[in-house]
Amino acid sequence: MDLDDTLINRGRAVTAWVADFTADQRLSPEAAQTLTEALRERARPETFADLRAALGLVESAEELWSNYLIGMAANAVCESGTLARLDLLRAEGWSVGVLTNGPTDIQRAKLAAAGILDHVDAVCISEDVGARKPESEAFRIAASRCGFALPADAWMVGDNPVTDIAGAGAAGLRTIWISAGRGWSVPGPPPDHIAETAVDAADFLLGLPEMSR
């Protein structure tokens, strides 16, 4: 399973952090907009070196990254029922792993804060394992950490049509796209299933007949 905007709502956490940071630093609405746009898709320590220069911030890039990491972890929350579904999947015999792109420090902080680490069999963070989705190698490593080799009867659950769905499909996994209410409008093969949330995706997997798992 993907982490950001699949198991946790990253978009909402970014919005909350930008609001807190903007208030603390007494920044303008335009600066808040700049922060939101810079952090929308992904953020790395280097992102804050750029933002520091663009917004004239006093703190070092390292201090800003640390502030962001702590704030994002504080706002990393799973939708109600998500962790219980992970437990149910494992009780039904599934191995559940998280495969996420991003820096190890912040992804691990979010996983810990959201309580996910105690409910999965394996965690793969791109910076840590040296492969990023959509590379097949990332999926191979995640499968291996879950205790099996690809190709296998494995599913990927994620919100990103390219990194999660196309990447997993190319690696031989079946796919569930987390739509959050969006329609699928991407060229290329569609996901095997569309679910609005991670809870809905887990319920779909729990309802599969044994033979199609």
Would you tell me which residues interact with Mg ion (CB under 5 A)?
Answer: 2, 4-5, 159-160
Q: Which residue is nearest to Mg ion (CB)?
A: 4
Q: Which is nearer to Mg ion, 159 or 200 (CB)?
A: 159
Least Å from the CB of residue 2 to Mg ion: 4
Q: How far apart are CA 38 and CA 170, in angstroms?
A: 30
Least Å from the CB of residue 113 to Mg ion: 17
Q: Which is nearer to Mg ion, 32 or 178 (CB)?
A: 178
- Cβ(139)–Cβ(128) below 8 Å: no
Cβ atoms within 10 Å, residue 193: 16
Listed in sequence order, the DSSP H helices in the chain are 10-25, 29-39, 45-55, 61-74, 82-91, 104-113, 126-129, 136-145, 167-170, 198-206
Q: Which is nearer to Mg ion, 32 or 99 (CB)?
A: 99
Angle of CA points 74, 85, 200, to nearest 5°: 95
Q: How far apart are CA 141 and CA 162, in angstroms?
A: 18
Least Å from the CB of residue 88 to Mg ion: 22
Least Å from the CB of residue 6 to Mg ion: 5
Q: Which is nearer to Mg ion, 4 or 200 (CB)?
A: 4
Least Å from the CB of residue 159 to Mg ion: 4
Q: Which is nearer to Mg ion, 10 or 119 (CB)?
A: 10
